[in-house]
A = this chain, B = another copy of it.
Amino acid sequence: MKCRTCGSKAVINMRQHKLALCKPHFLEWLPAQTERFIKKYEMFTRYEKVLVAVSGGKDSLSLWNILIKLGYQADGIYISLGIGEEGGYSDLSRQLCEDFSLDRNQQLHIVDVKKEFGETIPQFAQRTRRGKNKACSVCGLTKRHVMNQVAQKFGYDVLVTGHNLDDEAAVLFGNTLHWAGEFMLRQAPVLPATPGLTRKGKPLCRFYEKEMAAYAILSDIDYIYEECPYSIGSTSIYYKHQMNLLEHDNPGEKSHFYLRFLRAKDNGLFAPPEIIKQDLHECSNCGQPTSGKDVCSFCRMLEQGNEHLERSQVN
């Protein structure tokens, strides 16, 4: 297999793009494509302040790396979740993010969930009653809250995450199997800002996971290889597996499924957004926008956590 650009030996063959590339041309191609998607979906410009949510994994650190290379004003935010034995998983991923930011002389915001809110994610998950994937649900809720809080506080124009195509297709697949309309309609490469909520973008949403893994390895990015211990048996992994079965039988299916959805949305398949638009107001506790009655889901979770804590201390 030869590089389409220069004819030398290819290191990657992307069947879904019908494209094989050598190392230098792949490391050029992926950031150039990222730039194309940032512009296509009008995610942000070089005049805007970007906050990259980094976990220490291949996707988010690669994204940060790419944005810096492309000359964007990109700071990082790392949220320490207290996951793993004695928080070991989180400590390692934090270290990788700190080293990354120091090496590149970029600002990294660090929020320690336990210090800030009194408990780690596993502790929250234990105390609160949420569905099957308690830890993932609590973790998502917490990260969304903290990321927006920091983005708002420091005046970032946009908050970006390292979600790749496999992530996006799996989420869409799950939401579609359940016809979870509101979630489906909110799924997009970019979500515009609304009062109190910073704009969100996903510049990697059109890259396959294996492309991102190849990019991280070939760029010598030091990232955490292990998956989060709570992801084992999670529905997101299950839907990724289902999408991989479909992709195996029809190469490109994952990408088509996601892109055709975006196109169908643009072409008016769904109800106009104003029909399903929620009334948002400020949470009486933290001030972030919420569709809840009084406090937002995050603050409700904190309260629940504390109630349980108090109760268990009494008993």
A interface residues, Cβ below 8 angstroms from B: 176-179, 181, 184-185, 238, 242, 245-246, 249, 253, 256-257, 260-261, 263-264, 267-272, 275-276
Contacts and interface: CB of A to CB of B under 8 A. Distances in A.
A256 B178 contact: yes
Contact of A271 (B177, B263, B270): B270
A245 B245 contact: yes
B178 A176 contact: no
Contacts of A270: 269-271
A186 to B, nearest CB: 13
B268 A275 contact: yes
22 contacts: A176-B176, A177-B256, A177-B257, A178-B256, A178-B260, A179-B257, A179-B264, A181-B264, A181-B267, A181-B269, A184-B269, A185-B269, A238-B249, A242-B242, A242-B245, A242-B246, A268-B275, A268-B276, A269-B276, A270-B270, A270-B271, A271-B271
Contacts of A275: 268
A242 B177 CA distance: 12
Contacts of A246: 177, 242
Contacts of A184: 269
Listed from nearest, the 10 A-B pairs whose CB atoms lie closest are: A179-B264, A179-B260, A181-B269, A268-B271, A179-B261, A181-B264, A177-B257, A270-B270, A176-B176, A269-B271
Nearest to A235: B250
Most B CB contacts (10 A, CB to CB) among A181, A185, A257, A263 go to: A181
A310 B196 CA distance: 70
Contacts of A179: 257, 260-261, 263-264, 269
Nearest to A258: B179
A177 B249 CA distance: 13
A181 B263 CA distance: 11
A131 to B, nearest CB: 13
A178 B176 CA distance: 12
A232 to B, nearest CB: 16
